[in-house]
Each structure stands twice: as structure tokens, then as C-alpha cells.
Amino acid sequence: MTDYSKEINRRRTFAIISHPDAGKTTLTEKFLLYGGAINLAGSVKGKATARHAVSDWMEIEKERGISVTSSVLQFEYDGYCINILDTPGHQDFSEDTYRTLMAADSAVMVIDASKGVEAQTRKLFKVCAMRHIPIFTFINKMDRDANDTFDLLDEVEKELGIATCPVNWPIGSGKGFKGVYDREKNVVITYSDTEKGTKEGHSEEIKLEDEETLLSHIGQEAKDKLFDELDLLDGAGAEFDLDEVRKGNLTPVFFGSALTNFGVEIFLQHFLQMATPPLPRKSDVGMIMPTEAEFSAFVFKIQANMNKAHRDRIAFMRICSGKYDAAMEVKHVQGGKVMRLSQPQQIMADERKILTEAYAGDIIGVFDPGIFSIGDTLCMPKEKFEYEGIPTFAPEHFARVRQIDTMKRKQFVKGITQIAQEGAIQIFQELSSGLEEIIVGVVGVLQFEVLKYRLQNEYNVEIRLEQLPYEHIRWIENKDEIDIQKLQGTSDMKKIQDLKGNPLLLFINQWSIGMTCDRNKDLVLSEFGKN
């Protein structure tokens, strides 16, 4: 095998997570701006201008001003090749975020300085903690009135259970935001407002000893407050320890404003030095090293109709080891087929560039004729191993789907099946009814709206959704030992099956699950399905 370690080691692959409206999409755009990938950042909500965020490509996202699918963005900066996985902030799309985090080596957590740690941040953080992903914190919106800095750090530590180490320290907030103190360089970096959407800002470094210049830039009051806080900080904050950061036990914290571009490049530069290159991945034959093994990858996302003109499906895969070459043949382990990947491409939101090569750490999209599933492994034809699967979340909301025009049955079945294969929704049938009765399960109710919108816009099919009262679903682990028809259930239980014919049980009440298990001693139920 040729040595690809130089290319692989310059890669950084990370996800950006946050509560909605913390400024994640704006931060992503500013990264792209510094990398020269775009010349002008879009207005995320479309308020100031008609431009939309680069990473929000689906029509419904542009209308609602929220990200509902994960985008993949690649750019070069300062000798690094950066892959950003921009995740949906809305809680109803947390499953997509979870799968995306499986493909990342680290995460950037964006927190609104005036709101602190919010509900969705907590949920996403737990996923990172489960995987011991290193987390870097950017406290955003310092150009607005912010909470006390010590309180913000305290909240991160208490709420998320991770130690914090501020790399820089803010001087004021809102109209009084003057800049940040860089703890490593021992200088104050002053803040000058930049024009929205551009990177031509002006910042100046002032040594702490240069009292005259410092006073002329920030004033006596801000200087006194800064010196008081620095005295407190030296006794309070955790010491910076790169090993602890990389283990996910310590988060470096940065302050700035993505909207006005202050602190973004400082953060990017530090992050690239601290974050790891692509990491080894767990498989059923042990850890696969990125630089020592030949090409391998796993599918973490499938997206249909990214390009309306082509009506295609793209399987996104994270390359875990070696180098991918467009001329090579690879083995699709689950399908047992050796094949060439069709139209391998690097995707910048909805723009595509055909690739001839890619390396471990990169995310590539390939044309999927309907053979890939989330969690599938690809490797060289002579190899035989599988990467660990990605669990399916249990849906919490269910609805019966009825199509309005029964003549469009074919489009309806195709559309709902393709959207289900993306993993955003799960579809089930009543055991007795065949495909006539379709029940949709989702993690968050907004998914119902997206389903309705997409079926109408992408498949020209109108549907009516009738919400069902069920809140709990269980997979039957030992389905081969159980006669589903003879199962003794409760009055609020419903028997259904998934597309692969696996039997499942729906319940309205939590207590009914235990009662059903008591009535059927051999029954083994599970909260997670397997991809």
C-alpha cells in the first residue's frame, strides 16, 4: 500500500452542533468565507437579503429558515483539508444529527451567550459524550448583551458535566463588546465591527503592559474589570491539557460573534491545531487504522432528490481508511457485491464536484440505485469486515398515512419508501393489511410536515395524516421463537411490522409494555432497532 499519511493527517472532520438560533449556520458560513469556498455569506433567515444560507439547500429549509438535513461542506484553509458536517439544530431532527456525529472526529458546540446551555445542546452533547468525541465550545453572539462569563462557564460544567478551559476571555458584550484577551499570547485583541457577510475586518493586538494603547481602545472601566476577572480566572479555570480535550473530558472555550466575524478566525486556527486528524474506527475485526489500512468507508446518510432535475439518491459515506480512487472496485459488504462506486462526488450543500480521489476523513456522496442502507460498510474486495452499526432511534409519534388521489399509488409507495430509506421517518404496516395501511413513525412531529411537503413537491402526491395515540414502540428481539398471532397483549397494544417483515408492538401507555412482558414470559422486547 502507498503511504497516504500526509494527506490523511491534514484532514479535520467535525460536526457543528447547537440549539436552534445559536448561530451555527452563520458560523459555518464564516468558516467557508475564510477558506475561500464562498465570497459572500448568505443571510440565514433571508431577512436582510434574498440570499439563503449555503448549507440549507432544501426548499422547506429556505421557507422555514431552519436546517432540517445535514449538509456536508469541504474546503481548504492554511494547509488543512476541512470537512464540516453541518447538522440540523431542530430537536425533531436529532436522529439525523446522531448519525452525522458517527461520521465526525470532533464537534464544535455553539452556545448563545445570552441564553447559555439550552435543551437541544444538552441532548446533542450526550451523544458526543457517549462516543467520547472531543468538543470545542464557541460562545457566540457577544455583539449582544451576554450573561456573565463565569456563569456561562459554570453552566457548561454543571449542565454538561465537562470541564472548561477558556482559551480567550471576552471584554464586555453587546454595544460594549471591545474584543477578547488571548490567554496564551497575553495580548488583548480589539474588536472592530465588520460588514455583514464579508471577512474584511480589522483587529489589533495590544500587549497588557502597553497601558496607554489599551486604555485608548477599551477604556478604564473595561480594563479594570478585565484585570479583576483575570485574577479570578487564574484561580478558577481548568488548566489546558490537550490529552484531556481529545478524550472528551475538557472543552476549550472561545468567545466571539459569528455575525460580525469577530473571533471566528482565531477560533478556527486554534481548533485546527487542537483537533485530531482522522481517528481509528471500530469494526468486527478490531480497530481499523486510517493510515495503515486500504480503502474502507461506511454509509451514514442517504438523501433522495437533492437535485430535482436528476431525481437521484445520494449515499453519503465517511472514508475511514486509505485512499479512494474513482477507478477502483470496492466490496459492498452487506450486499455481497463487488462494484465501482457511481459518480463519486464532493458535495457543497446542493453543488457537486465529481471526484477522482479522496482520503480517510473525507465525506463523499455516491449515486445510490437503491442498494445502500444506513450503516453499510464498503471495503476492498479481498477484505471482510463490518464497521459497527448505527442504531435506529425509537419513534415517539405515529400517524396513519392516506393518499388523497388513489390513482397515484405507485408514486406514493416509491416516495414514502425512498424517504424512509433516508432514515428520517420509519414506515410500518398493520400485520393484516399489506401495503394498503401505512403507519409512519417519527422522532419529532416536524418530520410529519417535512414528509407531507416532500411527497407533494418531489413526488406530486398529496397525503392526509391521521395522528395515532401510540407513544411507545418495541422491537421483538426473539421474533423466531414467538408466535406473534398468539401474543397476549393489552387493549392499547397494536401489532405492526416494518418493511423487512420484522414484527413490532405499539403501545399507548408505558405500563402496558411491562404487562405484556409479564403475560408472555418468553417475549424479549428492545427499544432499538438495527440498521
pLDDT of residue 529 exceeding 70, the answer is no
Mean pLDDT along residues 69-79: 76
Pick the closest to residue 428 from 483, 342, 349, 505 (CA basis): 505
The pLDDT value given to residue 482:
84
Residues 441, 445: Cα–Cα separation, whole Å: 9
Q: 157 and 47, same structural domain?
A: yes
Domain span at residue 134 reads: 14-67+106-274
3-state secondary structure 150-191: HHHHHHHHHHHCCEEEECEEEECCHHHCCEEEECCCCEEEEC
For the ranges 195-199, 404-408, 518-522, which has the lowest average pLDDT? 195-199
The pLDDT value given to residue 237:
67
Q: What is the CATH number of the domain that holds 448?
A: 3.30.70.3280
Q: 165 and 290, same structural domain?
A: no
Query: Tens of pLDDT along 127-167?
Result: 777 778 899 999 999 999 999 999 999 999 998 889 999 99
Residue 350 one-letter amino acid: D
Q: 224 and 263, same structural domain?
A: yes
Q: For the chain, what's the residue count?
A: 531
Pick the closest to residue 440 from 448, 78, 500, 522 (CA basis): 448
Question: Looking at 379, 400, 433, which one is the last position of a domain?
Answer: 379
Residues 452, 466: Cα–Cα separation, whole Å: 12
Residue 229 dihedral angles phi and psi, to the nearest 5°:
-65, -35
DSSP string, 273-338: HHS-SSPPEEEBTEEEPTTTS--EEEEEEEEE-SSTTTT-EEEEEEEEESEEETT--EEETTTTEE
Our measurement of the distance from residue 371's CA atom to the centroid of its chain's CA atoms, rounded to an integer in Å, reads: 24
Q: Quick check: is 525 in a domain?
A: yes
The pLDDT value given to residue 46:
34
For 252, the grid coordinates are 476549550
Residues 138, 111: Cα–Cα separation, whole Å: 6
Q: Quick check: is 86 in a domain?
A: no
Number of domains in the chain: 3
Q: 263 and 151, same structural domain?
A: yes
For the ranges 102-111, 224-233, 443-452, which has the lowest average pLDDT? 443-452
DSSP conformation class of 257? B
Question: Looking at 243, 274, 305, which one is the last position of a domain?
Answer: 274
Residues 528, 531: Cα–Cα separation, whole Å: 10
Residues 436, 426: Cα–Cα separation, whole Å: 16
For 303, the grid coordinates are 438523501
Q: Quick check: is 249 in a domain?
A: yes
pLDDT of residue 12 exceeding 60, the answer is yes
Q: 289 and 269, same structural domain?
A: no
Q: Quick check: is 77 in a domain?
A: no
Q: Confidence band (pLDDT; 50, 70, 90) for 69?
A: very low
- Whole-prediction pTM value? 0.78
